[in-house]
Amino acid sequence: MPKRPLTPAPLPGGERGIPPEAPADCPLCPRLVAYREEVAVKEPDWFNGAVPSFGPEDAELLIIGLAPGVTGANRTGRPFTGDWAGDLLYATIDKFGYSTGTYDARPDDGLKLKRAMITNAVRCVPPQNKPVGAEINQCRPFLSARIAALPKLKAMICLGKISHDSTVRTLGLKLKDHPFGHGTHYDVAFEGRPLALISSYHCSRYNTNTGRLTAEMFEDVFAMAKGVTDPA
Q: Give the pLDDT score at 5.
A: 41
Q: Give the pLDDT score at 53.
A: 98
* Contact (Cβ atoms closer than 8 angstroms) between residue 68 and residue 74: yes
Q: Give the pLDDT score at 95.
A: 98
Predicted confidence (pLDDT) at residue 166 exceeds the cutoff of 70: yes
Residue type, 111: L
Question: Taking residues 14-25, what's their average pLDDT?
Answer: 82
* Contact (Cβ atoms closer than 8 angstroms) between residue 58 and residue 152: yes
Give the pLDDT band of residue 2 (cuts 50, 70, 90): very low
The answer to whether position 10 is within a domain reads no
pLDDT in tens, 112-126: 999 999 999 999 999
Question: Taking residues 168-194, what's their average pLDDT?
Answer: 97
The answer to whether position 56 is within a domain reads yes
Percent of the chain at pLDDT exceeding 70 = 93
The answer to whether position 12 is within a domain reads no
pLDDT in tens, 43-101: 999 999 999 999 999 999 999 999 999 999 999 999 999 999 999 999 999 999 999 99
The answer to whether position 1 is within a domain reads no
Handedness of CA 200, 201, 204, 207 (dihedral sign): negative
Distance CA 48, CA 25 (A): 9
Q: Give the pLDDT score at 178.
A: 98
The answer to whether position 8 is within a domain reads no
The answer to whether position 4 is within a domain reads no
At residue 70's C-alpha, the angle toward residues 5 and 9, to 5°, is 20
Helix (H, G, I), strand (E, B) or coil at 168: helix
Give the pLDDT band of residue 232 (cuts 50, 70, 90): confident
Domain that holds residue 145: 19-229
Q: Give the pLDDT score at 63.
A: 99
Give the pLDDT band of residue 37 (cuts 50, 70, 90): very high
- Of the CA atoms within 13 Å of residue 35, those in its CB half-sphere come to 19
Q: Give the pLDDT score at 17.
A: 78
The answer to whether position 61 is within a domain reads yes
Q: Give the pLDDT score at 16.
A: 53
What are the residues whose beta carbons fall under 8 Å from the beta carbon of 50, sequence distance 6 or more? 21, 22, 23, 24, 25, 26, 123, 124
Distance CA 175, CA 169 (A): 7
Question: Taking residues 195-211, what's their average pLDDT?
Answer: 97
The answer to whether position 2 is within a domain reads no
Question: Taking residues 1-12, what's their average pLDDT?
Answer: 42
Distance CA 225, CA 198 (A): 7
* Number of domains forming the structure of the chain: 1
Q: In CATH, what number is assigned to the domain containing residue 127?
A: 3.40.470.10
Predicted confidence (pLDDT) at residue 147 exceeds the cutoff of 80: yes
What number of other Cβ atoms are within 10 A of residue 43's Cβ?
15
Backbone Cα Rg of the chain = 17
